[in-house]
Structure 1
Amino acid sequence: MSTTGIGILLVVSLALQSSSSVVEVSYDANAIIINGERKIIMSGAIHYPRSTPEMWPDLIQEAKEGGLDAIETYIFWDKHEPVLLKYDFSGNLELIKFFKLIQEAGLYAVMRIGPYVCAEWNYGGFPLWLHNMPGIQLRKDNTVYKNEMQIFTTKVVNLCKEAKLFAPQGGPIIMAQKENEYRDVAGRYGEAGKSYIKWAAQMAVGQNIGVPWIMCKYNEAPQPMINTCNGFYCDNFTPNNPKSPKMFTENWLGWFQKWGERAPHRTAGDVSFSVARFVEKGGVFNNYYMYHGGTSFGRTSGDPYIMTSYDYDAPLDEYGNVNQSKWGHLRDLHAAIKSGEKIITSGIRTEKKYDEWVY
């Protein structure tokens, strides 16, 4: 074979390898669709700053063995930009490494930029220098705030693009979130809140990441944002667009603990019921909050009385150990749901009395 022929074969081979790594993410009312396959996604929250890099591989592997398809995390603005325009992505803030480990394990990722995250985190994840900027009004249609929010969002997105972490680049990130639980403050912010949210949605879409954007716990989320549900039960939740998938972005597996209070506990049976009921009524994305809670190191706890332990009665405890029976019970539930995934996501359902379904 000639040198020219070998060169052509090499180019074709590289092109095929490149195209095979591209992941297309879409959706309809009955499924999350990944490369044409209709899926129910089981996800779990693991916050990278609440553990150590040495723990990440084991946490991710335990999540995979527990039947999860994806790992979800917030992005913590105050830790990444402790001083204006001075960034830190080292140590347990090395989010690129965290996402790459997720991909190496064969899992997807969901990135919740916020950048307000709540998360029982100091100042909701806002850096304190932001509070002190002249003329600023947080989470409103305010030029000073929007400028800083866009700068940080773009910084994170560009880092992920450079590392080829978004699904269309062959990376693990299949969804991203902008803002967080805005319903809790929308009433007091009025029109300045509505116009801000509209801007935030447009700004997010303008980042051109190639995967769907979501807004949790805010029924007025503008298109093309997918509005989603947080809580203990979300089976009765209905998206504000009939073409959107029904998503449960925070299925609370326990709760945070305050000093002097009993450790919160939610039974494995109750969690399983909430998931099964959600899927029965059309749910196609369930994210456990938290799958591993970990530890709020330093002064990151968001309230004077919230403990540094963020165990959350999660399937993986504060130290990364398997919490039985919750971990195993949910693993078996995931397997049962996956066995009927193709039928469940087909959209063909016939309602019967007693809320049973025939497929």
Structure 2
Amino acid sequence: MQPGNPSLKHLGPQILIDQLKMLLIQLLVSFKRAVVYKTTTWYFPQSLKANSIYHGGTNFGRTAGGPFITTSYDYEAPIDEYGLPRLPKWGHLKELHKAIKLCEHVMLNSKPVNISLGPSIEADVYTDSSGACAAFLANVDDKNDKTIEFRNSSYHLPAWSVSILPDCKNVVFNTAKIGTPTSIVEMVLEKLQPSNSKALNWEVFVEKAGIWDEADFVKNVFVDHINTTKDTTDYLWYTTSIFVEENEGFLKKGSSPVLIVESKGHALHAFVNRELQGTAYGNGTHSPFKFKQPVSLKAGNNEIALLSMTVGLQNAGSFYEWVGAGPTNVEIKGFNNGTVNLSNSTWTYKIGLQGEHLGIHNAVGMDKVNWVATSKPPKNQPLTWYKAEIDPPPGNEPVGLDMVHMGKGLAWLNGEEIGRYWPRKSSIHDKCVRECDYRGTFMPNKCLTDCGEPTQRWYHVPRSWFKPSGNILVIFEEKGGDPSKITFSRRKVTGLCALVAEDHPSFGPESWQKDGTGSNKDIPTVELKCPENTLISAVKFASFGTPTGNCGSYTRGDCHDPNSNSVIEKLCLNKNNCAVELSEDNFSRNLCPGVTKKLAVEAICG
């Protein structure tokens, strides 16, 4: 397909809108980068960067684009897809905003002067006519900490960090020194609870592989998938038939011919005589793919049915509105006379699925097919609809639908479309890291995690979609899974961690704003706060000294105050929140002279 193809004019208005949106986003991002560049963006810890998204979200229904983009567009945003603050990112970003706010007047009423303070060290200084001053001290060395002199005072700058001085004297914030606690978030499993019986009962409807009703049209060529469906559905059936003579060698030898399908994308299930033979798909960077699979053919007539699927529309790149999908070449190898090409055979087309067409996922169309009731839903069965009546999970935490034991398909609750599910595993060959080193220039693949794990396991289901009882969950499974293992999960904050050092900025934005001058020096403090209606029920780890490790894996160092645990328990246990100062009243400050000490805490919320 080429630009100017009149058969694709139906996409024009929407594409123009999308392009304008993309242009606006690019302008906003460019503006943001220009403004924020000197105010810490490039030195902000990678794991804490907000980028252009502050609140994660969900692509409900079939709104996910890409293609191959998950329903979740969380992107490690400060507020996650489920609406929970992602700590420490949210808290640290909040402190950054407060610190910059303290510099607002002088920044808006003067121009910065850039001063070099040595190799890889610079300062941006703002001074207005009243004599007010604000400074940003930056260490652009991504390996080494620096100690610098600025206006007759000494400052310690961790590698790849910025310190903010609202009065050119006192540090209120450093991008690499994180005092905000880290939240421990878990997906707590909840089995599906039946509404009106002790055992969960399923109802099942199986789609016919191939043309399920009157054909939409017949052609001797392949049509483009997207141009044909107009994105009203992910699915388009391409069916043809081939006659196999009884003298074919593969029938006598027991060998299998090989079906080869070349496609522009995005995915495909191949059926022969209504039996699933295999699946193939492209990926987010390269949609085209080749399906190559031995298939079972019988003597006589054989039906070849290809279910072509899209996984969201292309929404970026040059001429992306002209990018198509669907098969371009089909052949079978292994016949006595060589390879048989079916590309110019008579192909019969059917748009969408029967269940989709009848709307059996909602109350209006649910009774238009004969559902078969069973307490043991079939496993690993393709083209199958499943329906169950369930109660909502307990509590008020956000809810996700766990589909890790299913293949690929669509899900609904009470007629609301949760979206596409596809717990496809990411590549084990990607370069994942155990611990992200945020320092240095940003790269998209710098801090990859969970290689070899499903790209998405949980699918957000808003609490507002649930009724008190009698909720109808409908699943369409394309290739086969185990519906008996479908569960809900509650997204719950189960604990908190905090790590604060003695050299944490001595003036916090909060106290500075109250005082207005920064004359009240803060004592570094660990602050813990569990979610509403929960208390700090246990202290899992506490050490004042030289603890090492990360949240969930802290260990004591050579320097340790033995009273650490009892101090934290006394101040925090059975409270919703607490503040623990790194003061002589709480800890031995004479411990390990000459060493900068830290307080590490991990607590359980319950």
TM-score when normalising by structure 1: 0.26
Q: 1 or 2, which has the higher helix percentage?
A: 1
TM-score when normalising by structure 2: 0.16
Q: 1 or 2, which has the higher strand percentage?
A: 2
Q: Which has the larger radius of gyration?
A: 2
